Amino acid sequence: MNKGFMRVIFTVLIGLWSVTLLSDTEGVFDQYREMLGDDNPAIFVIFDGEEIWYAPAGPKSVSLEQCDLGLGPGVVEGAYAQLPRYFPDVDRVQDVEARLEYCMTQLQGLTTEEVRGKPYSLRGDLGTELEALVAWIADQSSGLAIAPGQAHAKERATYALGENLFYYRAGPHDFSCATCHEQTGRRIRLQALPNLTTHPGAAEAYSSWPAYRISQGIVRTMGWRMRDCMRQQRMPELIMGSQASVALQTYLAVNGAGASMAAPGLKR
């Protein structure tokens, strides 16, 4: 069976479906999720991600098979659930995106600019390699407990930094992450807002990213979610794998620790 063709058909169907739903509310997305059952269109992206992982690429024409996501070179199963974590080889805490950037530059010989150039899809795109890789890597931790590293001093410092970033108000609207995400039972327009300062809220949010965005027809990563929240806060553009991106994700992962990963999730 031609996977690419099937994926196009699927995307078109989903696209048509979501266009008819755009004016509607979360309830219809629930119906749609129910209709899909255990099927998630992200499966096609996951397949792609696995292929990309094993395919030779970059100036050095090597695959990512020797990439160490924290559990040893080439060990992908269970790795996502333990990120972000401290990596002695870079003496820094990294999330999956920062780590992939490291592997792509170190192993494959790509430049940082090449990796960071366009990590996330724009609306209408069919997906980036980074999104596919992250979808596959996260899927390899599905059902496992969120267990980010907090044993190393730099891991704890990253959590503290993340908390401070979470409350940092700036820009013309004085917004911070906390503006929308430090209270329980709130919503913006009709969109429910998780309280990310609590375990249930952070667990619900963190465990479901990366996610297939029905309305956009692509898989979005947690790094993208951070960037888009910053855009909505009227901030400049958050760089993938940057210290702020990693620290914010650490804050969420630690607050949600213990819950089971359920990514790639399915979102409106």
Partner 1 sequence: MMMKTIMQFLAFIIFSSAVCADEVYDVLLESMTDKNFVTVERLKQDELQAFCSQPRSASADEARAAELRAAALSDVPIPSDQNYLGDWQRGEKVASNGRGLQYSDDPEQENGGNCYACHQLDPAEVAYGNLGPSLSGYGARGQSIAMLQYTWTKLWNTHAYNICSHMPRFGAAGILTEQQLRDVMAFLFDPQSPVNRTQP
Question: Catalytic site residues?
Answer: 229
10-14 contacts at long range (C-beta below 8 A, 24 or more positions apart): 10/41, 10/44, 11/41, 11/126, 11/217, 14/41, 14/214, 14/217
Nearest approach in angstroms of CB 76 to partner 1 is 27
Give whichever of 45 and 177 is closer to partner 1, judged by the CB atom: 177
- Go through 12-31 and write b for each residue having 16 or more CB atoms within 10 A of its CB, e for each that does not: eebeeebeebeeeeeebbee
Nearest approach in angstroms of CB 204 to partner 1 is 18
Q: The tokens of 45 are what?
A: 């992206």
Give whichever of 135 and 252 is closer to partner 1, judged by the CB atom: 252
Give whichever of 18 and 40 is closer to partner 1, judged by the CB atom: 18
Q: The tokens of 197 are what?
A: 């300062």
Give whichever of 79 and 100 is closer to partner 1, judged by the CB atom: 100
Phi first, then psi, for residue 121 (nearest 5°) are -65, 150
d(CA 71, CA 93): 14
Give the binding site for partner 1 (CB under 8 A). Answer: 25, 152-154, 156-157, 160-161, 163-176, 179-180, 182-183, 185-191, 193, 197, 230-232, 234-239, 242-245, 247
d(CA 58, CA 30): 41
Backbone angle region of 127, left / alpha / beta, with phi > 0 → left and psi within -120 to 50 → alpha: left
